Copies of this chain bind each other. A is one copy, B any other.
Amino acid sequence: MHRYEIRLSGSGGQGIIMAGIILAEAAGIYDGKYVCQTQSYGPEARGGASKAEVVISDEEIDYPKAVKPDLLLAMNQKSCDMYLFDLKPSGTLIVDSSLVKQLPTTRAFTLPFTRIARETLGKELVANIVALGALVELTDVVAPGSLEAAVLARIPPGTEDLNRKALEAGIEAARQFLAQRTESMIDADSLDE
């Protein structure tokens, strides 16, 4: 992996920056990669937008910010609209379909992180951890074990169980999404015949 750029985005209170730190520590401390993790605040910070970037590389990193992200996670509509066009043409888009209703592309992973956190786990606050579980299942950007270790090292004591379940729910949702997509691809193939 020469250089892989990730941008996580959403609104303040969605745990975007914590997700960025956890992902960076999974890659940097547990996977042993070079990682730069950044957040920038400007006039948009006062508008409640939240953005965290993680650049992962096998080599030392010169410029620490994401220039043309390989992966964009958009946890709300505004951040999807704002950052979609920064994404590399071949890049991966993952959106929280509970909050992103208008998608200008069909080439996206759409998973309801916030709804899963609220309905399955009873705690909307862990939508960021659900999203991380799914993101790693979909992209292999860090080892799943590294992600779990990084999550457990960062969360408040006593919430280990909840956060482990949040990770698993994210992984499971990603697997279901991939399985359904494969099915619909097979259906489309049958139509071709």
Contacts and interface: CB of A to CB of B under 8 A. Distances in A.
| Number of identical monomers bound together in the oligomeric complex | 2
Interface string A23-52: 011011100111111111110011000000
Nearest to A12: B29
Interface residues of A, number: 25
B24 A42 contact: no
A185 interface: no
Interface in A49-64: 60-61, 64
A24 B36 contact: no
A60 B27 CA distance: 29
Contacts of A45: 25, 28-29, 35
Contact of A46 (B29, B40, B60): B29
A21 interface: yes
Contacts of A35: 40-42, 45
A17 B34 CA distance: 17
Contact of A24 (B29, B34, B39): B39
A70 to B, nearest CB: 18
29 contacts: A17-B21, A21-B21, A21-B39, A24-B39, A25-B41, A25-B45, A27-B41, A28-B41, A28-B42, A28-B45, A29-B41, A29-B45, A29-B46, A32-B46, A34-B40, A34-B41, A34-B42, A35-B41, A35-B42, A35-B45, A36-B38, A36-B40, A36-B41, A37-B39, A38-B64, A40-B61, A42-B60, A64-B64, A64-B65
